[in-house]
Amino acid sequence: MELPNELKIAIEKVMDNTNIKQLKQDSENISFRYRNKSGKGNRLLTENSEAISYSIVRMPSTYAAIYSALKNTFELYNEDIKTMLDIGAGTGAGSWAANSLLELKQITCLEREDAMINLGKSFMKASEDTCLQMAEWKKTDLVSEELNEKADLVICSYVLNEMNSSNRMKTIEKLWNATKKILVIIEPGTPVGFKEIRELREYLIGIGGKIVAPCPNIDKCPIKEDDWCHSTVRVSRSKIHKLLKDGDVPYEDEKFSYIAICKDKFESKNIRRVLRHPHIESGKIELKLCTVDGIQEIVVTKKDKENFKIARKTKCGEIY
């Protein structure tokens, strides 16, 4: 998956005026902070050059994860969505992803860091899309400030994992109150990221939320405590992206965990979600699935030509 062409061009224009050595140093600094200081409420990115480096290194993967989560969600959820809140918007990846899939009329981006706001705003102004051009950006600290805005769709991606547990639960209450129709939360596809998603899932179900995706609509998550669930999307790397991350291959696989919860009535779909990459052997494919009846492991053989063909193309996190 790649960024929209307008966004790629906007990032390249900003990058042309920036020193490559500085971008690489900023990329390393950002990676270090996210690995070692997340979950403690620290400010992880503050400088303008860091925001540019972030847009090159992390924005493509963030966009791809959000796009995939929203695509999966709105294949199952058919309500009319016109307004959106992008919470902890960063440089606006969530807004670009949602706008690619939905016919939005209004976008509001909430972000704490000025460097991210200024860069994200400039990217959207460069778009030919009126909704992106007119997006409203507001400086907001999710932990210390209340959310007065409301929208049909609320997205919060790669934000809650930066908070401690107490602030995370206070923030999820604010997000739910800001949601008119559906809330989508995306976190890293790691054991820690999934644990946070599961905690939020249980809390939101407890106050009346209805699961839309990725789970079959069952109250208790069947994943064992020492296991986790995630989805994967393959992201194209630009030359500068490979340089900043010392990468050799022209792509990377972004792993993410997410939950989509709606407020209105939602008719449960009898879906089966693939939990791990299919294990392919000669003449057979083994699939681990999450279903309304719990975790199931099935084997699809070549004799079942149609299902075998589908299983070969199915990826982790997709419906089978």
pLDDT in the model for residue 50: 83
pLDDT in the model for residue 293: 87
Closest C-alpha to 62, from 149, 146, 3, 127: 3
CB atoms inside a 10 Å sphere around CB 42: 11
CA dist., res. 237 & res. 155, Å (int)? 25
Evaluate whether 186 touches 258 at the Cβ level (below 8 Å): yes
> Which of residues 219 and 34 earns the better pLDDT score?
219
301: left (phi over 0), alpha (psi -120 to 50) or beta: beta
Q: Give bridge partners of residue 286 from the DSSP assignment.
A: 279, 299
Torsion of CA 50, 67, 74, 168, to 10 degrees: -30
Give the model confidence (pLDDT) of 229-273 as tens digits: 999 999 888 776 666 666 677 778 999 999 999 998 887 778 899
- Average model confidence (pLDDT) across the chain: 88
pLDDT in the model for residue 96: 97
Give the model confidence (pLDDT) of 20-51 as tens digits: 676 777 666 666 655 655 545 555 565 777 88
pLDDT in the model for residue 209: 94
Q: Give bridge partners of residue 211 from the DSSP assignment.
A: 261
Give the model confidence (pLDDT) of 290-319 as tens digits: 998 889 999 999 999 899 999 988 888 888
Q: Percent of the chain beyond pLDDT 90? A: 59
Domain ranges in the chain? 5-262, 273-313
Chain centre distance of CA 148: 23
pTM: 0.90
Mean pLDDT of 60-77: 95
pLDDT in the model for residue 26: 66
CA dist., res. 240 & res. 146, Å (int)? 39
Structural class in CATH, domain 5-262: alpha beta
Window from 174-178, 191-195, 245-249, 293-297 with minimum mean pLDDT: 245-249
Q: Which secondary-structure segment (H or E) carries 176?
A: helix 165-178
pLDDT in the model for residue 246: 67
